[in-house]
Amino acid sequence: MRRAYKFFLFLYPRGHRDQFADEMTQVFEEAAAERRAQGRSWYVRFALSEVAGLIGGAAEAWMVSQRPPKAPDTSPLFLPQELREAQQRVDANVAAMVQAIANHQFERARFLSDQERVARANLSSLRDKYGIGDDPGHYQCS
């Protein structure tokens, strides 16, 4: 059965085999010895389930290996602190500017608009630094 098990390991992608084949074979041999001790019928059931598991595992390993690389997580919890703080400054400037416009404080709104431009430029440079592209929206970091 060991030869058959090793044969079925060739269904896995090479990288997966290189990384896990020895450990998988060792675990299989230990479990096979336990099942042999329980009797022939237990061993046959075990062997059939292992073959099915190998085929299913190989199919899954191939599907995983064919997936494109996952983009970095850019949810607020995983953003660097300085990037979150820069986004918060932009958000605060926008909120204050809206408040100023609503209260007809146009000079203050112009000042806040300038502050927002500076904050957005800083945010853009930090996004470049961390390899997170600009998008039309922004990350809520409240």
pLDDT tens column, 83-139: 888 989 999 989 888 888 887 888 888 898 999 999 999 999 988 888 887 653 444
Domain residues of the chain, as ranges? 2-66, 76-130
> Which pLDDT belongs to residue 105?
83
| pTM of the model as a whole | 0.46
> Which pLDDT belongs to residue 77?
58
> Which pLDDT belongs to residue 71?
56
Read off the pLDDT band of 2 (50, 70, 90).
confident
- Whether the CB-CB separation of 39 and 104 falls below 8 Å is answered with no
Q: What radius of gyration, in Å, describes the C-alpha atoms of the chain?
A: 29
Q: Which letter, b or e, does each residue of 68-78 get, where b requires 16 or more Cβ atoms within 10 Å of its Cβ? A: eeeeeebeeee
pLDDT per residue over 60-77, tens digit each?
888 887 877 655 555 555
Give the total residue count for the chain. 142
Q: Is the pLDDT of residue 82 over 50?
A: yes
Residue 15 contacts by C-beta under 8 Å, 6 or more apart in sequence? 65
Q: Is the pLDDT of residue 15 over 70?
A: yes
Q: Which long-range contacts (CB under 8 A, 24 or more apart) does 88-92 make?
A: 88/141, 88/142, 89/119, 89/122, 89/123, 90/116, 90/119, 90/120, 90/123, 90/138, 91/138, 91/140, 91/141, 91/142
Q: Where are the alpha helices (DSSP H) in 67-105?
A: 81-102
